[in-house]
């Protein structure tokens, strides 16, 4: 039996959370227990009712839109009338005119540099450490271990090292060096030695010639001794990379110049996620996430990992020391700059209870709980208290900021609410104004069409805006659920609204002065095993003017970093700033409001079945791990056994899409139930090798995961904004209760 809640001022607190705050978080922050809890009580009293009012506004707007589509079903035939309707109900607001963000004290990783970003479930300590340490990655390992190097012509991967594959890797790396750090003449392919002379890099080539860099200023530092360093640090397009020289290593011993690896600066930033990629339903889950965040910030987080028959202790990487070529020392961060992603406005959490305006005892809005606790944890970094077990000091933000991502905000009022919440938290905890910087996810339709006003609402805090295609698609479907049957899911990426959405995000961000102050980001590459395809396709993100984009793994971050050497994002952003936004904004808004209802629904029976099975298989494959194992993000095989990174955003699309086709009679309830039963067998088979997996068959009615998946579809239209959290949390709690 759990201990009774502790009454603290006007709130009631789970004693486990109270102990964590008082004994683990507050010591060393300068914030007393009484200061924290008095302030927390004030925050809840002020902001919980506002949170509820904003959710009620979502419901009001959705009811108005539903009524409009009932009266005028099908694609939007009169865009002017539709826009007037959205304006009249308060969904679409007036353009605020010229906007210039005033965010200050933003670290270079967000404001100046352009490079990959990771998103990682913070409940998993191993993944968290791997992501934080992915600031630097081995290009040789990333190439050798993935399909970035084709397994053909004798270049297959095997248990033993394949020299021919290794040679292909080395050739690829030399091509990269020629592109990113060209020599004054000749090629890195012909290098037989690297030295530093008179503060410059000198490369000895076959035939006896010695040359320098085409741009000598690219040499930033070195490790080892002059004239024979064991590492050479170069810089291109704002990103560092290191040529590792070790004539004694297995790789370096067969390289004429002794090059053993090329290390790339890769994941400049990482989002530690308390939202879409985790399953958090009670105090136990929440404290695991908070403790991992505290451990990362303080430098104490470690994880015991089995490797080659032994157990190693993995922790955070130290910073990287170099000597400057002209004298003096240089230290570069050894870890990604970390955001913490809080929950949005929708969910509540049972760790804290308060007295709601109606007099009833209610669970605290989860986003408020996250905001208060994670900012308090961030104070340790502001005080430079982080220490690795070795004693080395570490910092997350060198500019004195705490970075919080706020997801699933619907429009400028909700952004303003978030900004005001963090201002209040700063006041309570004694922090300077605007210490907390916000990353605003542009993943809800009402935010997309009012993005400039959203930036105004947080103009002194905005640290990134990032497109979230998956959630944005889920919201697109739910918002216009009654307009008609949506186009097939695979066709969404080619739809009119999505092209406008991706372009508008960058153009609006630049028009609001985010260049040099904040990140403008793009979404995830979902196939972690298909790195060759990523190398071919993900170049579009920096070319679009985005100075970051999400990747699914540290290896993917290393490979995606190559794209930022191929493209100067800052140059592209400068060019895009000259675009006449007044002329383009009208067209973009019109396209953003184009609802993706199918003009023609004469799909064949086979096409309908394919769409249905694909959606249902994806729903089951994800939900079964969420409910039974508490896994919020993992590589889930799709219906064709291709591993895809899945989280709640992908689930939102699939469940809403099936619900939409049900509403409009494209498929029947019997069709959906039959697909669920067939796909349960498929998902059971795909997970057959997992010793922790609980099969759904033969007792589907006894499988809480199966029941949860069905609910997400059959109750999909009534879920707020089509979100999956309420049903997932309900069924996960039931599963945990059953297991206890």
Q: Hunting for tokens 């108005």 — which residue is that?
A: 64
Q: Are 408 and 346 contacting, i.e. CB atoms less than 8 angstroms apart?
A: yes
- How does DSSP assign 211-248, residue by residue? E-BSSGGGEEEEEE-SSSEEEEEEEETTEEEEEEE-TT
- How does DSSP assign 80-132, residue by residue? HHHHHHHHHTTSS-----S------S--HHHHT----EEEEETT-HHHHHHHH
135, 320, 341, 395: which is the annotated catalytic residue? 341
DSSP 539: T
Q: State whether residue 159 is helix, strand or coil.
A: coil
Q: Where are the alpha helices (DSSP H) in 161-277?
A: 163-180
Token digits of residue 646:
């899945």
Q: State whether residue 225 is helix, strand or coil.
A: coil
Backbone angles phi, psi at 513, to 5 degrees: 80, 25
Radius of gyration of the chain (CA): 26
Residue 720 CA to its chain's centroid (Å)? 23
Token digits of residue 463:
């640290």
Backbone angles phi, psi at 230, to 5 degrees: -100, 0
Backbone angles phi, psi at 348, to 5 degrees: -115, 165
- Catalytic annotation present for 647: yes
Q: State whether residue 183 is helix, strand or coil.
A: strand
41, 273, 647, 711: which is the annotated catalytic residue? 647
Provide the pairing of β-strand 320-323 with 329-332: antiparallel
- Name beta bridge partners: 119: 271
Q: How far apart are CA 139 and CA 230, in angstroms?
A: 17
Bin 90: left if φ > 0, else alpha if -120 < ψ < 50, else beta: left
Q: First vs last Cα of the chain: how many Å apart?
A: 11
Q: Hunting for tokens 């000259």 — which residue is that?
A: 578
Cis check: omega of the bond before 603, within 30 degrees of 0: no
Backbone angles phi, psi at 222, to 5 degrees: -160, 165
Backbone angles phi, psi at 137, to 5 degrees: -145, 145
- Cα dihedral 155, 156, 159, 160, rounded to 10, equals -20
312 C-beta neighbours (distance < 10 Å), count: 11
Q: How far is CA 99 from CA 34, 92, 519, in A?
A: 40, 18, 17
Q: How far apart are CA 626 and CA 624, in angstroms?
A: 6
Token digits of residue 398:
């060198």
Backbone angles phi, psi at 338, to 5 degrees: -105, 130
130 C-beta neighbours (distance < 10 Å), count: 20
Cis check: omega of the bond before 698, within 30 degrees of 0: yes
Q: Are 645 and 534 contacting, i.e. CB atoms less than 8 angstroms apart?
A: no
DSSP 22: I
Backbone angles phi, psi at 568, to 5 degrees: -90, 100
Provide the pairing of β-strand 210-211 with 219-224: unpaired
Q: State whether residue 671 is helix, strand or coil.
A: helix
- Catalytic annotation present for 341: yes
Q: State whether residue 337 is helix, strand or coil.
A: strand
Q: Are 594 and 702 contacting, i.e. CB atoms less than 8 angstroms apart?
A: no
Q: Hunting for tokens 């990140």 — which residue is that?
A: 519
> Measured at the alpha carbon of residue 665, what is the angle toward residues 663 and 666, in degrees to the nearest 5?
110
Q: Which residues are catalytic?
A: 341, 647
């Amino acid at each position: 039996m759990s201990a009774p809640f502790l009454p603290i001022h006007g709130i009631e607190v789970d004693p486990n959370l109270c102990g964590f705050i008082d004994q683990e978080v507050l010591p060393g922050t300068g914030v007393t227990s009484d200061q924290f809890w008095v302030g927390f009580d004030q925050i809840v009293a002020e902001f919980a009712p506002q949170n509820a009012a904003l959710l009620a506004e979502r419901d009001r707007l959705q009811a108005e839109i539903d009524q409009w589509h009932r009266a005028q079903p099908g694609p939007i035939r009169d865009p002017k009338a539709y826009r007037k309707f959205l304006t009249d109900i308060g969904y679409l607001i007036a353009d605020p005119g010229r906007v210039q963000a005033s965010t200050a004290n933003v670290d270079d990783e967000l404001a100046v540099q352009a490079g990959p970003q990771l998103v990682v479930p913070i409940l998993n300590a191993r993944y968290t450490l791997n992501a934080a340490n992915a600031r630097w990655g081995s290009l040789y390992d990333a190439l050798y271990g993935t399909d970035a190097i084709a397994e053909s012509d004798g270049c297959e991967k095997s248990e033993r090292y394949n020299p021919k594959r290794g040679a292909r890797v080395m050739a690829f790396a030399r091509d990269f060096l020629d592109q990113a750090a060209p020599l004054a003449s000749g090629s890195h392919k012909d290098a037989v030695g690297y030295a530093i002379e008179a503060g410059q890099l000198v490369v000895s080539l076959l035939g006896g010639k010695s040359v320098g860099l085409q741009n000598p200023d690219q040499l930033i530092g070195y490790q080892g001794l002059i004239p024979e360093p064991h590492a050479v640090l170069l810089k291109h397009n704002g990103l560092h990379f290191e040529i590792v020289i070790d004539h004694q290593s297995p790789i370096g011993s067969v390289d004429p110049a002794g090059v053993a690896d090329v290390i790339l600066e890769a994941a400049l930033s990482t989002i530690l996620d308390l939202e879409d990629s985790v399953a958090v339903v009670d105090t136990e889950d929440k404290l695991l996430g908070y403790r991992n965040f505290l451990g990362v910030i303080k430098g104490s987080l470690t994880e015991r990992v089995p490797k080659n028959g032994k157990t190693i202790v993995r922790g955070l990487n130290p910073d990287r020391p170099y000597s400057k070529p002209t004298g003096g020392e240089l230290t570069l961060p050894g870890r990604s700059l970390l955001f913490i992603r809080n929950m949005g406005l929708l969910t509540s959490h049972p760790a804290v209870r308060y007295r709601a305006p109606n007099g009833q005892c209610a669970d605290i809005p989860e986003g408020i709980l996250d905001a208060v606790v994670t900012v308090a944890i961030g104070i340790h970094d502001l005080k430079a208290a982080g220490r690795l077990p070795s004693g080395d000091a570490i910092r997350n933000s060198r500019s004195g900021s705490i970075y919080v991502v706020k997801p699933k905000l619907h429009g400028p009022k909700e952004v303003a609410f978030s900004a005001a919440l963090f201002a209040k938290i700063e006041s309570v905890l004694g922090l300077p104004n605007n210490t907390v910087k916000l990353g605003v996810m542009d993943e809800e339709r009402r935010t997309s069409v009012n993005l400039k006003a959203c930036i105004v609402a947080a103009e002194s805090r905005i640290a990134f805006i990032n497109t979230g295609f998956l959630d944005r698609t889920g919201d697109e479907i739910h918002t216009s659920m009654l307009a008609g049957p949506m186009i097939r899911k695979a066709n969404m990426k080619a739809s009119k609204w999505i092209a406008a959405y991706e372009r508008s995000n960058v153009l609006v961000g630049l028009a609001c002065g985010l260049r040099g102050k904040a990140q403008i980001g793009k979404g995830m590459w979902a196939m972690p095993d298909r790195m060759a395809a990523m190398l071919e396709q993900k170049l579009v993100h920096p070319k679009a003017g985005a100075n970051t984009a999400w990747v699914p793994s540290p290896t993917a971050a290393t490979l995606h970093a190559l794209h930022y050497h191929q493209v100067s994002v800052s140059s592209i952003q400068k060019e895009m700033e000259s675009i006449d936004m007044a002329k383009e904004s009208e067209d973009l808004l019109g396209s953003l409001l184009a609802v993706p209802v199918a003009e023609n629904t004469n799909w064949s029976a086979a096409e309908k079945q394919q769409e249905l099975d694909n959606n249902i298989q994806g729903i089951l494959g994800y939900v079964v791990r969420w409910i039974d194992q508490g896994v919020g993000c993992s590589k889930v095989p799709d219906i064709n056994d291709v591993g895809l990174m899945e989280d709640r955003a992908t689930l939102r699309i699939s469940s809403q899409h099936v619900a939409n086709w049900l509403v409009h009679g494209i498929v029947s309830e019997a069709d959906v139930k039959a697909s669920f039963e067939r796909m349960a067998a498929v998902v059971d088979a795909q997970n057959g090798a997992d010793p922790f997996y609980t099969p759904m068959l033969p007792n589907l009615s006894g499988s809480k995961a199966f029941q949860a998946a069905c609910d997400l579809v059959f109750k999909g239209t009534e879920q707020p904004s089509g979100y999956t959290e309420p049903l997932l949390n309900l069924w996960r709690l039931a599963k945990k209760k059953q297991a206890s």
